[in-house]
Amino acid sequence: MEKESKNHIISVTNLTKKFKDNTAVDDVSFFVERGKIFGFLGPNGAGKSTTIKMLTTLLSPTSGEIMMDGKNPQVHADDVRKIFGIVFQDQSLDEELTAYENMELHGVLYRVPKELREERIKKLLTLVELYDRKKDFVKTFSGGMKRRLEIARGLLHHPKILFLDEPTIGLDPQTRNHIWDHIKELNKTEGVTVFFTTHYMEEAEKVADQICIIDHGKIISKGTPKDLMKQTKTESLEDAFIKLTGRDIREEHATAMDSLRNSRKMFRGHK
């Protein structure tokens, strides 16, 4: 178990989350160093998003302890919400508003002063190539455009910790590069700690300072990308990842995904 340290902006100890009989996160411990880019990798259903939800006050853990910059999200939710920003894995835009209105609303919620807000909105919408569509309703956007807008919105305020849950999913390679360049810049100039997940291993290999691999809710490996390659005697992070998590798409994943879909259906209605 890691010792707590001032340098650990996130520290997680014996964190567990159970959904009924399914243990999504199973006794996980890790820490993230201040100012680093941290990659949280794992196959589908491994427990990445569930962990992020617990770190970001959206879910309460079944057991274990979380410290976010010295504060416990369960006890001091409002304080913790002041220190992070997040791009969610699934959609989170108001489709009845325009692109600009979505940005503006976020800027106000995060108390970005008016002038800075306008300046950054312009810069970020330009970065994701949506500036000329800023007055269009989000419901008229393609999937990739919505994703780009979500990322732009997530970068509008500069938090201490930025969570990116599969930020670049469904984006073309040019856009991905632009976005990562911008994030690295933010990390370097403002010291923003970045906590991201992705299924693009070459992306993780390029940007991550530290990596943690989770599978079936348990941490199975951690270190720099180089460490992991050395550990597994492989040439790329992708190979290391496959070696660590197994080559096959295991059956449990399919069933886990199915049960998720089914539980969704249950919520939808008893028609």
Partner 1 sequence: MKTIYVLWERQLKRYYRSKVRMIASLAQPLLFLVAFGFGFGPIYNKASGGNYIDFLVPGIIAMSVLFSSTFMGIEVIWDRQFGFLKETLVAPVSRFKIMLGRTLGGATVATFQGLIVLLLSMIIGFRPKSIESVILSIFFMALIAIIFTALGTAIASQLEDMHAFQLIINFLIMPLFFLSGALFPLQGVPKFITVLSSINPLSYGVDALRGAMTGNLHFGLIFDAVVLSGVAVLFLSIGAYFFSKIEA
Ligand X SMILES: Nc1ncnc2c1ncn2[C@@H]1O[C@H](COP(=O)(O)OP(=O)(O)OP(=O)(O)O)[C@@H](O)[C@H]1O
Alpha carbon distances (Å) from 81 to 52, 75, 85: 13, 12, 8
Decide: is 59 part of the binding site for partner 1 (CB under 8 A): yes
Decide: is 22 part of the binding site for ligand X (CB under 6 A): yes
Query: Among partner 1, Mg ion, ligand X, none, what binds residue 169 when CB lies within 5 to 8 Å by partner kind?
Result: none
CA 42, CA 30: separation in Å to the nearest integer? 15
Decide: is 221 part of the binding site for partner 1 (CB under 8 A): no
Decide: is 49 part of the binding site for Mg ion (CB under 5 A): yes
Query: Among partner 1, ligand X, Mg ion, none, what binds residue 86 when CB lies within 5 to 8 Å by partner kind?
Result: partner 1
Residue 42 or 225: which CB sits closer to ligand X? 42
Decide: is 87 part of the binding site for ligand X (CB under 6 A): no
Residue 159 or 225: which CB sits closer to partner 1? 159
Positions that interact with partner 1 (CB under 8 A): 53, 56-60, 78, 81-82, 84, 86, 88, 90-97, 101, 104-106, 108-111, 267-271
Positions that interact with ligand X (CB under 6 A): 19, 22, 24, 42, 44-50, 89, 256, 260, 263
